[in-house]
Structure 1
């Protein structure tokens, strides 16, 4: 990532961004900028939309409840998509923990969040709009210019059927407590093999009750799935996600 301005406020916008073309803020954005941040005429900040890079803009209030943002110059170009991007497949959790999980996944560099219903999944109605809001907020705070997708939930059997049909082509890494005693770093290194390129990856984290015996059997029998352990302790699903994403990015991801 090129130089990042840690001091300026950042805001995600839906509109296209072009020099000197004013962008109207919606009601919530205007209230945040004018009444929460107390921005005034001529104050500067940064915006991005996931397509046109990052831009410095000037805030121009239009009364107490409206304002526009005028792009002055591009501060960072939109980066090219990473070839070995990482998808995050997860059994939905309760609201507060899923908010945390979505934010941390964005910070750890995932490009897609996909809820997966397993036999032991407790939360069957994840709030996707709230999850998308958490994704945007995390991107605003940590300097990411691309907004990860949040997809509709899918059942684990349907997900694996899609993979087996060759419609995705990613390699799935799933955290399996039965792999205890094996070295996750060495296992991950075998995915790269002798070359330097890494295939597109997906991390699968199960629910609080773990995968069922049938689910684990099917996962372990699939050629596109690699199980890894996460140490000698049982981790909560949200903790396991952060730990697994960290070692994947360090060994074969964009930290390597």
Structure 2
């Protein structure tokens, strides 16, 4: 079922069910009344990433408080995506963009990975989660991806389920076309790994190519920035072997 883009929509980390009355805290009240300029009796869509999307009515018990009355279910909660997006952290502005686009493209989990050429040694998980929620709010998405703590490159590969396909973007591939490799898979890829600005080291690339559960793909004839590569790779995976066409990730 398509999202309703004509109504305002917010994420609310509370249980949602018909008839529920939810009092909002100060920050939520300020956002609802002063940013969205909702009035008493106005309708809004709410979701929590677990219970689907619900239509709710705004209530103003006092001038400085607000509450929501949950009315009816608009869209049921879909099964969560199994697609894990693994990436080398970038500087904050570009990381924000990359996280938002990964959510829009259907990633079910966001996994930062520390590689040899990673330039950002730490990542703010709370900021990453906030960007994921914002992207979901704006794009009609019902599932909030899991935002994981960063792991080292070796740790990611050592802990990967060998029955699950991991695709990585290889700038040294001997072709420009990623479609043949993706269309040859007999099951949808469960992970996508995009490297840092400097790319994967020779040792990392050799390690990836030696693993039977890893598939290397190119991303065309041009050098892409890491955040652009993320969008390009997620789009081609979804189109060739994801929930746009042949397979379903859930």
TM-score bin, normalised by smaller chain = over 0.9
* Alignment correspondent of 1:116: 113
Aligned partner of 1:186 in structure 2 is: 180
CA contact under 8 A between 1:205 and 1:237: conserved in structure 2?
Answer: yes
Q: How many residues in Structure 1 have an aligned counterpart in Structure 2?
A: 245
Determine whether 1:230 maps to 2:224: no
Question: Structure 2: how far apart are the matches of 1:213 and 1:235?
Answer: 18
Deviation for aligned residue 1:64? 3.9
TM-score (normalizing by structure 2): 0.94
- Match runs of 1:70-89 below 5 Å: 70-82=69-81, 85-89=82-86
The structure-2 alpha-carbon separation of the partners of 1:30 and 1:180, relative to structure 1 and needing over 3 Å to count, comes to: farther
Q: Among residues 95, 101, 105, which one is paired with 1:104 in the alignment?
A: 101
Q: Which residue of 2 aligns with 1:242?
A: 231
**How far off its partner does 1:60 sit?**
0.8
Counterpart CA distance in 1 for 2:133 and 2:12 is 10
List aligned pairs for 1:138-217, cutoff 5 A: 138-163=135-160, 166=161, 169-192=163-186, 198-217=187-206
Cα distance in 1, alignment partners of residues 101 and 64 from structure 2:
33
Unaligned runs of 5+ in 2: 246-250
CA contact (8 A) 2:176 2:221 kept: no
Report the Cα distance in structure 2 between the residues aligned to 1:213 and 1:81, rounded to whole angstroms: 35
Q: Which residue of 1 aligns with 2:44?
A: 45
Q: Which runs of 4+ in 1 moved over 6 A?
A: none
CA contact (8 A) 1:180 1:232 kept: no
Q: Secondary structure at the match of 1:177?
A: coil
CA RMSD, 1 decimal: 1.3
